[in-house]
Amino acid sequence: MAYWLPIIYVGIMGLALLIYVVLDGYDLGVGMLLPLADEAEKDMMIASIGPFWDANETWIVLGVGVLLIAFPLAHGVILTSLYVPATLMLMGLILRGVAFDLRVKAGDQHKSLWNRAFFVGSLTAAIAQGWMLGAYVSGLRGDTTSLIFSALIGLTLPALYLVLACGWLMMKAEGSLLTKSIAWARGAILPMGLGLLLVSIATPLVSNEIADKWFSFPNALYMAPIPLLSAACYAGIVMLLRDDNGIYRGRGWRLFAATVAICVLATLGLAYSIFPDVIIGQMSIWQAAASVKSLTFTLVGVVLTVPVILVYTVIVYRVFHGKATALSYE
Amino acid sequence: MDLDPLLLARIQFAANISFHILFPAISIGLGWLLLFFRLRFTVTGDQAWEYAYYFWVKIFALTFAMGVVSGITMSFQFGTNWPGFMERAGNVAGPLLGYEVLTAFFLEASFLGIMLFGKQRVSNRMHLLSAFLVAFGTTLSAFWILSLNSWMHTPTGYRIEDGVVMVESWLAVIFNPSFPYRFIHMLLASLLTCAFLVAGVSAWRALQNVDGPATWKVMKTGVFLAAVLAPLQIFVGDLHGLNTLAHQPAKIAAMEAIWETDAGAPFTVFALPDEAARRNHYAVEIPYAASLILTHKTDGVVQGLNAFAGEHPPVAMVFWSFRVMLAVGGLMLLVSWWGTWQLRGRHTANKPLLRALSLMTFSGWVAVLAGWYVTEIGRQPWIIDGVLRVSDVVADHPGNTVAATLAGYLLLYAFLLVAYIGALRNLSRKPAASLRLIPVTSAASANREA
């Protein structure tokens, strides 16, 4: 049990953070796109994420929660090192979370202020998350190389969120907003691809531990499908974006699906790079783990509730399936 | 300038938790009120109840969003500011916080979407179920959080191994000695906060002449609920006090500013406690009353602060917070009974009552904050009573960093509080939708529509 429990938990944590990146990713992306739309489109964009954003954001609480439950020693070290970007992310999430509600409830004269707050909050949170991821992957060192690396991911993750958001809007929007989301996707796809490519090249350069894992035979062979499949997904997105008619006829979901696939592949690659450490080169998951009794107690809850959560998440998404309709609180 | 990181970290945590608690204090109770409105609509088919529901669900959503975002901040701050707490007590705190997220948080966040935007998309039955699940979720959240908080006051069911807390019995941890009292006290506090919030906003609407049938139904719901709950809360609060006396006598001594152990201790109505001189200035006392309240005997012995030299909480803060809570509680009792007497069987009230109710709109917040200050400051210098000190768990960030983020949080929170109350005011100023009321004859037709 002492061997398997930390592995199970690190898996759950990875799953929660992956779901978070995909789900909150698209709604953060919608927030970042907001200034590019006109008033009516802004309302429709917000309407498209209205029923979902609360639950989307909960996945990061679960991710950090699992870190706290299962690896209390690492939790303190990681979050203390990431104090500043974590605080900035929190302020961003606070701002956008309340701006979402207040833009319609605070009165018309304040609406543009809250629209801006929603944009600023979304952008801040996305950059801070990228920064945190970069600092984490480079081993929480804080030297110049890792700062540059953090900055690189700090720009790549928002680009990924933008592409996710465009995919989301292609499923949810009609008319001028759909047309715009195609144009936005064309603008965001290259920065995202370039960012991901640079990150893939830079990761083994900043971390010897990761380089050793990827560039030894036969591991390199087993792991080759990850970059190859990612490239294929990317090519698929580029092709889809050349086919406006296909998107108008309802193929927009493929952009979203392909981007999600890239997220899944990147997560697998990352998991392989880091495992079995919880802080690269410093602490393994077994060293950081909480007591077996505590882990077992929570595991009962995890096994019973996570499937239920996934089921009702699907139900809620099905209830609000299809093109977004005007958001009315009446 | 030399900034004390511990003090700053404590102020930052206090600011965060003070801001955060304002919103759960509303959403826990309001969730059940919304379910009540929806049920009344379903049973009576009276559309006024549906209007009441949609008016207050908007405020619920705003409140919930404020609670979620400030709650996420709390969960991160354990790691960023208090890593020692998780390292030493993670075996207890982690699973309890985890169960909150798993069983409650997702439930609320997922089904709130249906409550808000599901009108055209789900049946009334599904809508009712969602309202129930959200209300149940908020309460379950409170259950786990208060279980952990109570355990930090009255820890049981654990042993210490190499400085780390290990769980011996989960039942003893979750249902620790102060938990039932704290949980019920908080649920009642939340319901009372909501009762005065809905009654206060409705009274304000009546004063502004933007009220409709729904406004009065809501006002009466709030006032009647408060009239029943206020005395119940005083009773539960007394039980909670007795429990605290048994487990945390230092806190009681600070609440009553009793410096020396005394048989037949007086209750101090007013005083300026002086820690340096270890006595009270300008004290107004009721003889034997503290002993009577705490031990239910006039000559009962009450331990004084002298029994906890150097280990007791700051007295003045705890003493005054406690008195503010009592005063607001007493006011709630008076106003709700006055209101019940006036509103019984009628849809009108005189101006003084309406003014009193609208002045009391946020009275619940004052009482809840004061109550939490009593209990949390009253635990100092411990983070886990008798087990772990606050000074042992703080992160060693430079004072300047903590001061900068503290300033950021304070600005943001002040701005958001103004925005929240502004939005409430803005929503409340619109003429009641229920004035456009179309009579609905039966519940069956309402169900068909929904």
Number of H helices, E strands in chain A: 15, 2
Q: Distance from B427 to chain A by nearest Cα, in Å?
A: 6
| Cβ neighbour number for residue A109 with a 10 Å cutoff | 8
Average predicted confidence (pLDDT) for chain A: 86
Look at residue B264 in the predicted model and tell me its pLDDT.
79
pLDDT surpassing 60 at residue A4: yes
Q: Which residues in chain B touch residue A54, judged by CB atoms under 8 angstroms apart?
A: 64-65, 68, 108-110, 112-113
Mean pLDDT in residue range B257-275:
83
Look at residue A28 in the predicted model and tell me its pLDDT.
93
Q: Which of B117, B171, B416, B428 to mutate to test the interface with A (most CBs of A within 10 A)?
A: B117
Q: Do B109 and A54 touch (CB under 8 A)?
A: yes
| Prediction ipTM score | 0.82
Q: Which residues in chain A touch residue B69, judged by CB atoms under 8 angstroms apart?
A: 90, 93-94, 97-98
Residue B225 and residue B191 in contact, taking contact as beta carbons nearer than 8 Å: yes
The two tokens of residue B157 are: 């069911």
Q: Distance from B339 to chain A by nearest Cα, in Å?
A: 30
Look at residue B28 in the predicted model and tell me its pLDDT.
93
Mean pLDDT in residue range A88-111:
84
Distance CA A8, CA B388 (A): 30
Of residues A131 and A51, more confidently modeled: A131
Residue B316 and residue B270 in contact, taking contact as beta carbons nearer than 8 Å: no
Mean pLDDT in residue range B317-326:
91
Q: Distance from B109 to chain A by nearest Cα, in Å?
A: 5
- Residue among B65, B110, B167 whose CB faces A293 most closely: B167
Q: Do A58 and B75 touch (CB under 8 A)?
A: no
Beta bridge partners of B167: B158
DSSP type of residue B272: E
Look at residue B180 in the predicted model and tell me its pLDDT.
94
Look at residue B367 in the predicted model and tell me its pLDDT.
94
Q: Do A58 and B109 touch (CB under 8 A)?
A: yes
Mean pLDDT in residue range B213-217:
87
Q: Do B69 and A94 touch (CB under 8 A)?
A: yes
Q: Do B109 and A55 touch (CB under 8 A)?
A: yes
Q: Which residues in chain B touch residue A27, judged by CB atoms under 8 angstroms apart?
A: none
Q: Do B75 and A64 touch (CB under 8 A)?
A: yes
Q: Which of B12, B69, B161 to mutate to test the interface with A (most CBs of A within 10 A)?
A: B69
**B269: three-class secondary structure by DSSP:** strand
Q: Do A69 and B116 touch (CB under 8 A)?
A: no
H or E element in which residue B148 lies: helix B124-153
Kindly indicate the confidence band of residue B149, based on its pLDDT and cuts at 50, 70 and 90. very high
Of all residues in chain A, what percent carry a pLDDT higher than 70? 98
Q: Which residue of B has its CA nearest to A93?
A: B69
Per-residue model confidence as pLDDT tens digits over A100-138 = 888 877 777 888 888 999 999 999 999 999 999 888 888
- Residue among B106, B395, B433 whose CB faces A309 most closely: B106
Kindly indicate the confidence band of residue B342, based on its pLDDT and cuts at 50, 70 and 90. confident
Residue B274 and residue B280 in contact, taking contact as beta carbons nearer than 8 Å: yes
Per-residue model confidence as pLDDT tens digits over B360-405 = 999 999 999 999 999 998 888 888 888 888 888 887 777 788 888 8
**A289: three-class secondary structure by DSSP:** coil
- Residue among B64, B95, B105 whose CB faces A297 most closely: B95
pLDDT surpassing 70 at residue B240: yes
> Rounded to whole angstroms, what are the CA distances from B40 to A112, B37, B44, B47, B49?
38, 5, 6, 9, 6
Q: Which residues in chain B touch residue A84, judged by CB atoms under 8 angstroms apart?
A: 401, 405
Beta bridge partners of B165: B160
Q: Distance from A181 to chain B by nearest Cα, in Å?
A: 24
Kindly indicate the confidence band of residue A330, based on its pLDDT and cuts at 50, 70 and 90. low
Size of interface A-B (CB pairs under 8 A): 222
Look at residue A328 in the predicted model and tell me its pLDDT.
59
Bond before B180 cis per omega within 30 degrees = no
Q: Which of A24, A89, A102, A140 to mutate to test the interface with B (most CBs of B within 10 A)?
A: A102
Q: Which residues in chain A touch residue B121, judged by CB atoms under 8 angstroms apart?
A: 319-320
pLDDT surpassing 50 at residue A162: yes
Q: Which long-range contacts (CB under 8 A, 24 or more apart) does B58-61 make?
A: B58/A105, B58/A329, B58/B116, B58/B427, B59/B30, B59/B424, B59/B427, B60/B26, B60/B27, B60/B30, B60/B31, B60/B34, B60/B112, B60/B115, B61/A101, B61/A329, B61/B112, B61/B115, B61/B116
Q: Which residue of B has its CA nearest to A295?
A: B95
Look at residue A327 in the predicted model and tell me its pLDDT.
61
Of residues A157 and A205, more confidently modeled: A157
H or E element in which residue B221 lies: helix B213-247
Of residues B231 and A84, more confidently modeled: B231
